[in-house]
Amino acid sequence: MHEGKAIAEKAEAGGKRRWNRWRIAAWSVAGFILLLPLIAMQFTDDVVWDAADFAFAAALLGGTGLVFELAVRKRVNSAYRAAAGVALAAAFILIWANAAVGLIGSEDNDANLMYGGVLAVGIIGALLARFRPQGMTLALFATAIVQALVAAIALIAGLGSPSRGLEEILILNGYFVALWLTSALLFRKAARGGTVNIHNLLSLVMIAHGSVLMIYMIVVEDEPGAVPLLLILLGIGWYLIPRVRTRSHPK
């Protein structure tokens, strides 16, 4: 009995160490994202940020990170952490994209305010669920439905024309619907006691992001672009490298 307890404690300690490494990596990536505009401003005039822009980005990144820390601090289940990470990443990207370019027309189009309702459904649902995985599953499914409804309203009313065509609105909103559904499915997995391999998940997310971005570039710009292809290749490489190492150095 004591031996089993010792093994469990050792496994938990190992899990915490791995989690701390992921936390350090996540905050480092957030800092790098904040530095990207500053770096870009040194090489191009297309990126012009002022102090207010950097303050907004820092508040958004920091707030997202802190909410994630609070949401998962008592959760050791990897599926729950992954679900929370995907949901917060979707919320972060939605706010950032709306502020930068807008999903319906331009960023000045008041129709983009409807996405505040999408976020409100997710937030209220999470509070009602008290962040329990069963309730979070329903909250994220509801968020995905509201996101799809906003897109349907925009298309039916022609709110995005002429800045956003039918294909753009479908791709952009479909991307967020997919993120909300992914989070919901991960929460459902967590509710059933399942776990996920974070390394594999991040690799697949990178591939998926690259694929969606490539489709968007082909539809809008008539070319796939280098960045989407790079994301796909990096995701595939990151997914395969550990497997190649395992085969090269079998235990």
Using CA atoms, how far apart are residues 76 and 100, in angstroms rounded to an integer? Answer: 35
Q: Cα 176 to the chain's mean position, in Å? A: 9
pLDDT, tens digit, for every residue of 106-126?
888 888 999 999 999 999 999
Looking at the predicted structure, is the pLDDT value of residue 8 above 50?
A: no
Q: Which of 89-103, 172-186, 210-224 has the highest mean pLDDT?
A: 172-186
pLDDT, tens digit, for every residue of 180-203?
999 999 999 999 988 888 778 888
Using CA atoms, how far apart are residues 88 and 90, in angstroms rounded to an integer? Answer: 5
Using CA atoms, how far apart are residues 181 and 243, in angstroms rounded to an integer? Answer: 28
What would the mean pLDDT of 2-29 be, rounded to a whole number? 58
Q: Which of 63-72, 80-89, 193-202, 211-220 has the highest mean pLDDT?
A: 80-89
What would the mean pLDDT of 132-152 be, rounded to a whole number? 96
Which pLDDT does position 184 carry in this prediction? 96
Burial of 82: CB neighbours in 10 Å, binned 0-12, 13-18, 19+: buried
111 or 228: whose pLDDT is higher? 111
- Of the candidates 63, 88, 73, the one whose C-alpha atom is nearest the C-alpha of residue 140 is 88
Structure-block tokens of residue 158: 């022609």
Torsion of CA 56, 82, 204, 88, to 10 degrees: -20
Q: Which residue has the tokens 């409100």?
A: 120
Which pLDDT does position 105 carry in this prediction? 82
